[in-house]
Structure 1
Amino acid sequence: MMKYELLRYEDYKDSGVEWIGKTPFQWEVTRNKDIFEARGSLSDSGTETLLTVSHITGVTRRTEKNVNMFMAETMKGYKLCEKGDLIINTMWAWMGALGTSNEKGICSPAYGVYKPRKNKDYFYRYFDYLYRTPKSIMEMTRNSKGIVSSRLRLYSKEFFQMKTSLPNHETQKTIAEYLDTKTAQIDRKIELLTQKTTKYGELKQSLINEIVTRGLDKTVEMKDSGIEWIGEVPEHWEVKRLKDYIEFSKGINASVYTQEYVKDEKNLGIYPVYSGQTENDGVMGLINSYEYSFSAPVIFVTTVGAKAMTTQLLNGAFSLSQNCALLKNKASVDTSYVNYFLIVLFKEERKNIPAHMQPSLRIEDLKKHILIAPPIDEQKAIADYLDTKTAQIDLIIETINTQIEKLNELRKTLINDVVTGKIKVYKEGETI
């Protein structure tokens, strides 16, 4: 395996271009029109390999992507591209949806396809790394045309006017090969760590499943719960419908609060609005609204129209989206225990939902579900035990995720510093 050394270049110059900044003295600062020209060739048959472009994977085969978008009946007239061409998704360049192609194929007529000019230093993998750096993407965005970000377009004229700091062909090749090796090593570490987080997540779910359905005492007599997916439960546990233990209410469209639910100024306040979204712990935003206020924890679960069936313990004052249900326990049940049971229930529910469908659950259906409930003291003991154990697992996962974040940041920094000349890469033993 080739070994590389890292140094700084001896001399730097001001490129005169904001996004480039200082650049190695030997590198040429030139407009993209002097490096590229539009290919412009169209497919006569539409049978070539169809390529697509995304901000995550760059240029890949359409068959390798999980895309549900409409496919045209024929791809005659699609743009031809050759190996090494730069392909830019005109509509999503501001997100970094671009890259160089590893093979010959065709792509959408809405894309920009650029081939290198003859007799110009050009190693395509170098440009794949360079143009997907954050500063380069910002420059693409700055040169895009449109009123709002979602409507920005990067047209050929503006792309050609952009400037690039260009090393010679051999340097481009050395940089690209070095980054291919180093990013593959970093990606492998990230993959292994991600697999570990998945395993710990599965361990957490398995632990909750086991304790919620079997209890802490493994010596007690068991009985058939009458529910196929649960199987046997401790003999002294009750099996009843959720509505026997829980009071249900539904959230309200957040915009309604300020119109109908604000009775006087005393009830006004800034409260988090919880929604059916899974991002940000389900917090949709903040709103001036009538408050829900509870002295004990309550549970909210997502219902109709939600992206996923989730459950979360809440306390204090908050507002609730119409996609959510609010569950308040009665005296005979512990809220934390019910929350853990719902985690198990939703996991089972998802097994019955086709992969292409959006998981959701109506309150009417939720009420009919069964809750297996030990005596209240045992419920609290189970909840306390799971709180401790899951917190330990969550801490491990958090630590691993921090490592993943650092590796991702290292990857970005390494690519940026090498392709922009902040760091010089040379092969071991090479004369510099």
Structure 2
Amino acid sequence: MSFPKYPEYKDSGVEWLGEVPAHWGVKQLKYLVTCLDGQRIPLNGVERYSKQGSVPYWGANKIMDYVDEAIFDEELVLLGEDGAPFFDVGKPVAFHSSGPVWPNNHIHVLRPGDSAWVKSIVYGLNATNYIDFVEGSTRDKLTQSRMMSIPLAWPPHDERNHIDSFLDHETARIDALVEEQQRLIELLKEKRQAVISHAVTKGLDPDVPMKDSGVEWLGEVPAHWNVVKFKYLIAEFEQGWSPQCDGDQAETLDEWGVLKVGCVNYGVFDPTENKRLPDNLEPRPELSIRKDDLLISRANTRDLVGSAAHVPMDYPKLMASDKIFVVRLHQRICRSRYAVVYLFGKGVRHQIELQATGASSSMLNIGQGAIRELWIPLPPDSEQDRIVHELEKREADFAALEQETVRHMRILNERRSALISAAVTGKIDVRGWQADQQSRQSEILMAAETRATYG
């Protein structure tokens, strides 16, 4: 499917909009909406926990939780105020809210002058270049005054509705492809977890004799393995320190830093996930992390709490935060790298999540006992090394597949964004489009290559 240009254009008077169809107008947002920001009410995690329900609770650019009552129940435009991805191609910053909703103070709430305008405004705001409207040195912020001055290309009523229908139809096609890619990523994660679980509970030899582990959720394990609790493998078990740190990270090995909880996400240690210790604070060298330390997050979201990573070398000036357990194992009995892959397995993840507590699903905690009391099947140290080596090879294959899938999703989202931009700024003329037209998906995506294509 290809789209023609309009027969005649005029200067919009807005540099980033460029030319628009000659019969279109350009309107500032303040003439299209009423801002309802004064009615927003933020809720902290404890307050949300006490109000759990089915009403979406919105943050800067997504639903953060669900509560039991609404502030609004009407057709609205929600537009990120601070923390939204204003400059990330393919990521929306404006959303259509229809029905009960509770927005917090990080997202603007806009009532359109006519409810029929809501889709046009959302599409237009997601095609806006925010470079002249967003301010802030450390966190992008769209103030109310700057927001209301945003210009939108504004076609006549019937044409505007037709563009909305076109975009609803075509973006739904692209969204379906993105959803398929997302499902593939979830399947890859499930497969990865299943491979790990099998290796650390059944071993690599399918013909090895088995025995009952004595632990219901573990089932059978190889007959020559031991089954013990983590507490018998631990030489030291420490918790870090969380002083008030700078926002910047420690950029060199000569600067002291405090590790953030994200340094162990998904089983890979990332030393750059840290905050620089201010010069006026004395470091605590006893909290420095060392080679073969096992780091475990004690506070995070449900799917990340209990994440673990192996430290491959000494970091004399990186300290663990108080959201991280530092576990030093008897390496001759249990390798830290083996413990990491074991803690990623499906069965043990379920046990950790059962032990997690907290007032909000966005931040759960586990105590030392949740780790100490975990059962672990323990092969001989040489077999632990072979299992880790084999899983690392399989992980490389999974990672390559996931990266390729993520790349496809990024391309689809970029094309979706380009298609919206081209339609709402008049770079393509879709007045001849009909919803019942049949076209190949590839032809539809070709229509959305880049904005420049339609220049």
TM over 0.5: yes
Equivalent residue, structure 2, for 1:421: 426
1:132 aligns with 2:126: yes
Q: Find the aligned partners of 1:372 and 1:149 in 2 and give their Cα distance.
A: 46
1:275 aligns with 2:271: no
Count of matched residue positions in the alignment of Structure 1 and Structure 2: 383
Q: Find the aligned partners of 1:360 and 1:230 in 2 and give their Cα distance.
A: 24
Pick closer, same or farther for the CA change 1:177–1:242 going to 2, 3 Å: same
Q: Find the aligned partners of 1:7 and 1:257 in 2 and give their Cα distance.
A: 55
Q: How does 1:211-226 map to 2 (within 5 A)?
A: 211-226=199-214
Q: How does 1:224-373 map to 2 (within 5 A)?
A: 224-255=212-243, 269-270=254-255, 273-277=258-262, 284-287=273-276, 290=285, 292=288, 294=290, 296-304=291-299, 308-316=305-313, 317=315, 318-329=318-329, 330-344=331-345, 345-351=348-354, 353=356, 357=361, 358-373=363-378
Deviation at 1:275, TM superposition (A): 2.5
Deviation at 1:97, TM superposition (A): 6.6
User: In terms of mean alpha carbon deviation, does 209-218 or 86-95 score higher?
Assistant: 86-95
- Structure 2: runs of 5 or more not aligned: 37-54, 86-91, 247-251, 278-282, 435-455
Equivalent residue, structure 2, for 1:261: none
Deviation at 1:331, TM superposition (A): 1.9
Q: Is the 8 A contact 2:201 2:218 kept in 1?
A: yes
Q: Is the 8 A contact 1:250 1:325 kept in 2?
A: yes
TM (norm. structure 1) is 0.73
Equivalent residue, structure 2, for 1:44: none
Q: Is the 8 A contact 1:299 1:312 kept in 2?
A: yes
Q: Find the aligned partners of 2:208 and 2:236 in 1 and give their Cα distance.
A: 33
Q: Find the aligned partners of 2:386 and 2:173 in 1 and give their Cα distance.
A: 45
Amino acid at match of 1:16: G
Amino acid at match of 2:3: L
Amino acid at match of 1:275: K
Equivalent residue, structure 1, for 2:384: 379
Match of 2:408 among 400, 403, 421: 403
Equivalent residue, structure 2, for 1:115: 113
Q: Find the aligned partners of 2:112 and 2:189 in 1 and give their Cα distance.
A: 44
Amino acid at match of 2:191: L
Q: Find the aligned partners of 2:393 and 2:16 in 1 and give their Cα distance.
A: 49
Q: Is the 8 A contact 1:133 1:416 kept in 2?
A: yes
Equivalent residue, structure 1, for 2:177: 189
Amino acid at match of 1:298: D
Q: Is the 8 A contact 2:12 2:20 kept in 1?
A: yes
- Structure 1: runs of 5 or more not aligned: 40-49, 58-64, 259-266
Q: What value does the CA root-mean-square deviation take over the aligned residues?
A: 4.2
* 1:424 counterpart SS class: coil
Pick closer, same or farther for the CA change 1:8–1:250 going to 2, 3 Å: farther
Deviation at 1:407, TM superposition (A): 0.9
Equivalent residue, structure 2, for 1:27: 24
Match of 1:71 among 69, 75, 90: 69
Partner deviation per Cα, 1:173-196 (whole Å, 9 max, x = no partner): 232122111100110001111111
* 2:13 counterpart SS class: coil
Equivalent residue, structure 1, for 2:446: none
Amino acid at match of 1:180: D
Q: Is the 8 A contact 2:76 2:98 kept in 1?
A: no
Q: Find the aligned partners of 1:350 and 1:381 in 2 and give their Cα distance.
A: 28
Partner deviation per Cα, 1:278-315 (whole Å, 9 max, x = no partner): 77966543425658364x44321112577622111222
Q: Find the aligned partners of 1:413 and 1:209 in 2 and give their Cα distance.
A: 42
Match of 1:154 among 124, 129, 144: 144
Q: Find the aligned partners of 1:371 and 1:235 in 2 and give their Cα distance.
A: 14
Q: How does 1:4-23 map to 2 (within 5 A)?
A: 5-23=2-20
Q: Is the 8 A contact 1:123 1:169 kept in 2?
A: no
Amino acid at match of 1:368: E
Amino acid at match of 1:324: I
Amino acid at match of 1:202: E
Partner deviation per Cα, 1:399-419 (whole Å, 9 max, x = no partner): 111111111111112111221
Q: Is the 8 A contact 2:226 2:378 kept in 1?
A: yes
Equivalent residue, structure 2, for 1:199: 187
Pick closer, same or farther for the CA change 1:272–1:204 going to 2, 3 Å: farther
User: In terms of mean alpha carbon deviation, does 397-406 or 171-180 score higher?
Assistant: 171-180
Q: Is the 8 A contact 1:87 1:100 kept in 2?
A: yes
Q: Is the 8 A contact 1:165 1:420 kept in 2?
A: yes
User: In terms of mean alpha carbon deviation, does 202-211 or 341-350 score higher?
Assistant: 341-350
* 1:220 counterpart SS class: coil
Q: Find the aligned partners of 1:284 and 1:150 in 2 and give their Cα distance.
A: 21
* 1:427 counterpart SS class: coil
Deviation at 1:347, TM superposition (A): 3.6
Equivalent residue, structure 2, for 1:262: none
Q: Is the 8 A contact 2:213 2:219 kept in 1?
A: yes
Deviation at 1:56, TM superposition (A): 5.0
Q: Find the aligned partners of 1:5 and 1:217 in 2 and give their Cα distance.
A: 57
Equivalent residue, structure 2, for 1:47: none
* 1:270 counterpart SS class: coil
Q: Find the aligned partners of 1:108 and 1:331 in 2 and give their Cα distance.
A: 54
Task: Report % sequence identity.
Answer: 21
Deviation at 1:321, TM superposition (A): 1.2
Deviation at 1:214, TM superposition (A): 0.8
Partner deviation per Cα, 1:226-268 (whole Å, 9 max, x = no partner): 211101111111122323323334243253899xxxxxxxx97
Bigger Cα Rg: 1
Equivalent residue, structure 1, for 2:451: none
Q: Find the aligned partners of 1:173 and 1:238 in 2 and give their Cα distance.
A: 68
Q: Is the 8 A contact 2:259 2:319 kept in 1?
A: yes
Q: Is the 8 A contact 2:163 2:423 kept in 1?
A: yes
Pick closer, same or farther for the CA change 1:287–1:171 going to 2, 3 Å: same
